[in-house]
Homo-oligomer: A and B are copies of this chain.
Amino acid sequence: MDKDPQLQLRIFDLNCWAIRYLSKLRQERLSLIGDFLCQEEFDLALLQEVWSERDYWELKKKLCAHYPSSHYFKSGVIGSGLCIFSKHQILDTFLFQYSVNGYPYMFQHGDWFGGKSVGLVVLKIQEIIFNIYVTHLHAEYCREKDGYLPHRVVQAWELAQFIRHTSNGADVIMLGGDLNMHPEDVGIRLLRGWTGLKDSFIAAEQVNGNEDGCTLVPANCFTGKKELQCYPQGIRIDYILYKGLSQYDVRCNSHETTTGTAPKKDIPYSDHEAVMATLSIEKKSDKSQKHFTVEPVLVDILNEARMEVRVGLHSAERQRYSCGRMGILALLLLLMQGAMGLNSVFGGGLQQSFPKFSFSLLGLLAVLIFLISAVLCLFHTIEVKVLQGTEEQMRVALQTIQSKLSSG
């Protein structure tokens, strides 16, 4: 089983912003993305926010010559938006849907409906097993007062745990996606610290494109200028992360982003910039290295993450309590109305003057409030369980890390 001394892979990652009826110039942009992928002949294209399966099938039709193998991950109400196009045969696929992902009643944000997940495909290239992960975490709508931060931290933790537990059979692992976190955010530090993944932007021997590798830049005409007010250069929230396991070394030869508009066109591919990386994989002579090593800094990161989860837990418990109270009030109102109704029917005298219309309108309101409160109370109960469970998982991990560190 003689292997090539060096295998080079070119990876493309983009949040395509392809929401039917909502995203501007969707079809033109998808067509540009397809052209670019055909022309560049990457080994792998990891796409997010391809919300419509019809768009996926059109891309598939266009890309089938250069990317004969592909997979669309289905989840949630409108899909996960995640898909992978590959030059190499996909051998197996698996999907893990995050346990929390915003709220169904936040229609204006809509993340909940997407069923945010991490998708895994397994490839074998020149006898080397690759686990390729693609994901998209919950968006950040307001950095100063980010109510979704606990959910995003839980997602980052579940992503890290999923990668840790599923990657032992692989020689090389790679993750691409819109993580909706800045490089210094606790979720990224947790993910990188817990899995040992390297950031292609930081590790690359050569970097091209936007300054600081930014993928959400003011130069892009589709980007909301308001959200970048504090970041005149833009922000980096899309990543390609990678790691060679015991037998293999992976180096990042180059990291590149697109810069605002597609070459020779006046529109960009998306509201995000694409990330492209060239990785070279080499067999190691020293095979003794462990899959996961533990750094002391991880203890602080995990504690910081637990704190965020606890903040989320308090908020979820408060919301569950509010919904429960509202439901009980609505039920009391209904009971009172029932009693008054019965009284008016059997009490006799009042029947003529009984305000049936406003009475039944009030009843309608009470029933509605009761139903909505009950469903929301159920929802927040699930959220509480997930946050408690995550905190407990983190506690077990922390214990293990600490005993590893103390035993040297």
Contacts and interface: CB of A to CB of B under 8 A. Distances in A.
Interface string A88-124: 0011111111010000000000000001000010000
Number of copies: 2
A77 B381 contact: yes
A90 B386 CA distance: 20
A165 B120 contact: yes
A165 B162 CA distance: 10
Given A166-B166, A168-B168, A364-B364, A385 B76 contact: yes
Interface stretch (A210-218, A267-275, A392-400): A392-400
A290 to B, nearest CB: 11
A291 B129 CA distance: 14
Nearest to A72: B392
B165 A75 contact: no
B93 A393 contact: yes
A77 B385 contact: yes
Interface stretch (A254-262, A302-310, A354-362): A354-362
A368 B375 CA distance: 13
Contacts of A381: 77
Contacts of A356: 356-357
A385 to B, nearest CB: 4
Given A97-B99, A169-B291, A385-B115, A71 B364 contact: no
Interface residues on A, range: 35 or more
B389 A95 contact: yes
Contacts of A291: 169
A73 B389 contact: yes
A385 B94 contact: no
A386 B367 CA distance: 32
A76 B381 CA distance: 8
Contact of A382 (B76, B91, B170, B360): B76
A319 interface: no
Contact of A74 (B74, B169, B385): B385
14 contacts: A71-B396, A72-B392, A75-B385, A75-B386, A76-B382, A77-B382, A93-B392, A94-B161, A94-B393, A95-B393, A168-B168, A356-B356, A360-B360, A360-B361
Contacts of A167: 168
Nearest to A381: B77
5 nearest A-B pairs in the assembled complex, by CB-CB distance: A168-B169, A74-B389, A168-B168, A356-B357, A364-B364
Nearest to A371: B371
Contacts of A96: 96
